[in-house]
Structure formats: C-alpha cells, structure tokens
Structure 1
C-alpha cells in the first residue's frame, strides 16, 4: 500500500467537524499569509492578515485593515466568494450535529457515557414513580431508563437518559454503559402473563450479570416458582410484588381499618391514612414507633399534594398531612 493511500485512510477516520475546522484554520493561515506578502506595509504581520481574513469572511468588516493594491483586492474578492461559504458550512455542520444529538437523545439511540448510574429496566407506573422520586431527592444521581415499548423519551425535560431496546440485548446494555453502572432495577411488565414476565426478567438479569457481574441487581418477581431461579441467575435482591400486595390487602381486610388504596411503589400498594388530631404534634419517628405497636408500618407522608417517602426522622408532622402506610402481615 502506498504512502498516499495510508495518509488518505488515516484522514478519513478523523471526525467530519474536525476535518472542517482544520480546513478553516488552513484557509485563514493561507490567505492571511498571502495578503501579508502582497501588502507588507498595510499588513505588517501575518496575524494582521489572519485578523483581516476572519473579519472579512464573518461579514463583520471593522475596516481597520483593507487591501489597497489591485492584487490585494483580487485576493479579497476570492476570499469573500470562497471563505463565507466555508465558514457557513462549518457552523451549519455544528448545528446539524447538535440537532442529531438531540434526536438521538429523544429517540433513545444516544450512548450514555456516565458512571455510577442507576439503570431501570421497563417503563410503567412503578418505574415512573421511582425515577421521579430519585430525580427530585437526588438530582445529581444519573439514571438510565431502558425500554422497548417507548418510541420517544418519556421525560425529555430532565437529565434522565433513555435507551430504546430490549435489555436482554448486549448492544442495548452497552449503550446504557452497563459496565460502569452501580445498580440495576428490573421491573415487571403486567401486560404479559406472570410466567413470561418472570422469564424475561431472569433473562435480562443473566444478560446484565454477563456484562457486569459486580453490579447490584434488584429484580421484581411475580411467581414463587421463579424466585429461586432469579437467585441462581445472580439477583442481589428480590421484590415479590404479588406477595407484598396480597399480604397488605389481607391485613387490612382482617384488621377492619378503613384505608384508601393510594397507588403503587415497587409493586407495593401504599395506603393513605388520615392524620388524627393527637398525632399532629409528633415527629415522624415518634409516630412511626407508635403505629408499629398497632402493626402498622409508616413509610411516608403526603404534604401539599406531593408524596414524601421516608422523610427525616425528626421532622415534625403537620395537621393537614396524610400518612402513607403499609401494615405488617399476619
């Protein structure tokens, strides 16, 4: 292979913007040097010539430097006809790259390059609540969402990174930078039957552990049959959604306490309990201890329409707060 071909191949590997920027610099230096050689009295330094080239092709035209000779004006004419186009192409290319990056971010095709991030697999009400809570409480924590059903980023106005695809595919996990992740949460998809859902979760777990054996994996499991399989596949923690929900509902059916089902978090049904007058002066820790004596687990509060899970232990409760509870099972 000839030396020319080798140089050509190496140049072709350079990013397009860097190539274009190199051409702009060569162009500035070439015309700046040329006008300095043609009119050394008017442009005593090469830097004066380069400054004139920059001002001219950017169409600013300060007028502090201008060619006086016929040859200099011919150079200036050539510069205007060619230089403006080169500079416009450069800035247009920058804008195109920026738009392309934004499209990749929205479509879920952009590679995540951060580290120590959380990866959440599956977009549903549980994962949405978890992401929003983490984002609100620990804004600096990087989060990557992997989902195959979404066509666009579900939270485009946040710094949450979205990767479109199945988490069982290595390329998708690598886009999420699985090797640098600190935690992976695999949620279930209730649109499928329970056995298929658990099998997909375990397959995802195997793919994750195959690329990063040390990452902490929390897996949501629906069936008792797949619980041990998930542990064998390397699950560091299990969330048994159906078991928690059943025990919670059973407890309140047997206890006869009137509660309203508020929603789901991690597959656990959370109940909202009205604040009683005698509780309003207590701290969160004091009321938590009091309710534990009644086999009721206090996990958070609703204040001003916002859910706050596990607030500071010594934070005082307010009369208009609602309590978020989950009772211990019998």
Structure 2
C-alpha cells in the first residue's frame, strides 16, 4: 500500500495573512452565491461582493438586499460568520501593532535600513554623540547597542535600540551590520580600564568578523591596548584619558577652569572659552588629528571644530576640515 507522508516543508503564513486570505475567500464565495441565488437583485458578481463587504462590515447602505428566503438565509449565515471574522482580523492588526511597539522599546526588533551608524555602549558620551550627530547629519540613521538598558533611552529620536552585547553575532545581525556604514565602540566605564579595553577589542573582532571592510572607531582607555586594538581591526582609536589629561594639565598650569557650555555660562574672570579660528587654506582637507600639531606649534590647544554655527567637540581623528570651518581653541578671557 502506497503511503504519502506530508513533510511540512511549506512555510507557515503569518496569522494576519491567513485571516486576510480567508476574508477574501469568504467575500468571493458569498458574492458569487448570492448572485446565483438572486440574479435579478444582484446582477453581477461584483454586486454580490459589494453587498457581502457592506454586510460583514455592519455598514448597511441598503442599496442591495436579498428578497427570497434562500437569499435571506445566506445573509443570516454571512452576518453570523463574517462579522466575527472581520472583527478578529482588526483585533489581530491591533495586537501586531502593540507587539511591534513593545519589541521596539525593549530593543528586540531588527533594524532593516541601510547605510547607518552603529554606536556600541550607552553612557553620557554616547548621548552627547547622538545629539551632535543629529545636528550635523540628521538624516543618517543610528543604531544603539547596549546590554545594560532595559528600555529604549531615546524613543522620540531617530535612533533604533538593540538590547544585547555587541560581541554576539545575533545582536550584530539584529543591527543589520552587513549594511552598516560605520561603527563607534565606546568604553564601558562600569568596568575597570583593562576589562573595558578587553571588551572593546573583543567587540572589534566580532564587528570585523561580521563585516571586514566596515569603518570602525574604538575608544581605548589604556595606551598599552592601542596596538591590540589596531590588530583587532580598528580603523581609528580615540584615547579619551589622554585627551582629558591634556585639558586638565593645561587648565592646571594656566589656572583656568574649562567651561564647555558657552551659552549657559556666566561671564566670569579667569574662565576658559572656546575661540574659533578660521581654517587656513593650507589646513583645508586635513583631518583633526593632522591639524593638532600645527596648533601645538603655536602653543594652542584644539578642542573641536565649528561648522555652520555648530560646535563639534572632540571630533573623531579622521574628521576632515573644510573651507568655512573654524577650529576651536582654548583661551583665557580676561
């Protein structure tokens, strides 16, 4: 005896799609049936389908109505079965929308767009980086990866949150690493400096393993791990401690206090200010890292770039200056 076994290899359609297909089948079947039973009242199949839609939607225009007993019986069956079917469909739509919003807020929803920037780690620096990015490049999508957050920290911003460790391939896949353009890995200050750098280097390996040609910028806290970060594939290194130390030494020797919020700061004597210096022609096209030695030769400490009225403090080393920009230096205002 020949037996045929169903292997179940066909993909199961989502519930919403199955409900929609079932509703379409019901509309067509009842539309054709009422047309066959009462061709005088329902002259075409489309008239029957129209009546079916109006009936199960409980709209009741009254332009078509069955007049025979058989037609009315069909109407009764349609009302009892179709109305519940449509209600179930709209309830499913609402449930899917609510579920999608929960997944988004909890960082479990996949990111599907392209040419985005991935920022690993949530802290005050990440928050400021995102704010600056929204000012300079508001159309570039940003994906934030962090395992310490339980909910989206910036739900009203154009930022997609992924919950998890960036060292896991599954988390990077959710962030659509294959289609990403750049990655910034910030140091985890909840750990000691050595562990934070080890996590950064491990994240670098995971990112470069997923997409070898992606531009990756990493924050390193200890100078001893810079070489290892480059070996792991970093395209650029940010030495946060070194930069902070330079500012502190400059402030200590010159007896000045850094003031980084120029708008809210009150005019006080002996306080540091940012002074913009127009970019010279020979500086155009240089990166911020290449520009620093020119200013140091003039005993000036560069802290950022002013572009189109916006200050970019501590830009990435590969941040290039253009015509119309100004370099921000620290100076004492008497």
Do Structure 1 and Structure 2 share a fold, with TM-score over 0.5? yes
For residues 4 and 110 of structure 1, the distance between their equivalents in structure 2, rounded to whole angstroms, comes to 37
For residues 229 and 256 of structure 2, the distance between their equivalents in structure 1, rounded to whole angstroms, comes to 36
For residues 88 and 9 of structure 2, the distance between their equivalents in structure 1, rounded to whole angstroms, comes to 23
Residues 273 and 324 of structure 1 are in contact (CA less than 8 Å); yes or no, is this contact kept in structure 2? no
- Residue 132 of structure 1, CA deviation: 1.5
Q: 1:309 aligns with which of 302, 308, 312?
A: 312
Matches within 5 A, 1:228-267: 228-254=227-253, 256=254, 258-262=256-260
- Residue 158 of structure 1, CA deviation: 1.8
For residues 65 and 283 of structure 1, the distance between their equivalents in structure 2, rounded to whole angstroms, comes to 79
Q: Secondary structure at the match of 2:93?
A: helix
For 1:278-308, what per-residue CA distance to the aligned partner results, in whole angstroms no more than 9, with x for missing partners? x8xx98558x99x95451426257x9xx963
* Count of residue correspondences: 301
Unaligned runs of 5+ in 1: 264-271, 317-322
Residues 108 and 153 of structure 1 are in contact (CA less than 8 Å); yes or no, is this contact kept in structure 2? yes
TM-score normalised per structure 2: 0.82
The residue aligned with 1:100 is: 99
Q: Secondary structure at the match of 1:260?
A: coil
Matches within 5 A, 1:120-199: 120-199=119-198
For residues 219 and 99 of structure 2, the distance between their equivalents in structure 1, rounded to whole angstroms, comes to 35
- Residue 159 of structure 1, CA deviation: 2.1
Q: 2:302 aligns with which of 272, 294, 297?
A: 297
TM-score normalised per structure 1: 0.82
- Residue 250 of structure 1, CA deviation: 1.1
For residues 243 and 123 of structure 2, the distance between their equivalents in structure 1, rounded to whole angstroms, comes to 18
Residues 39 and 67 of structure 1 are in contact (CA less than 8 Å); yes or no, is this contact kept in structure 2? yes
Q: Secondary structure at the match of 2:145?
A: strand
Unaligned runs of 5+ in 2: 262-270, 284-290, 314-320
Residues 119 and 183 of structure 2 are in contact (CA less than 8 Å); yes or no, is this contact kept in structure 1? yes
Q: Secondary structure at the match of 2:6?
A: helix
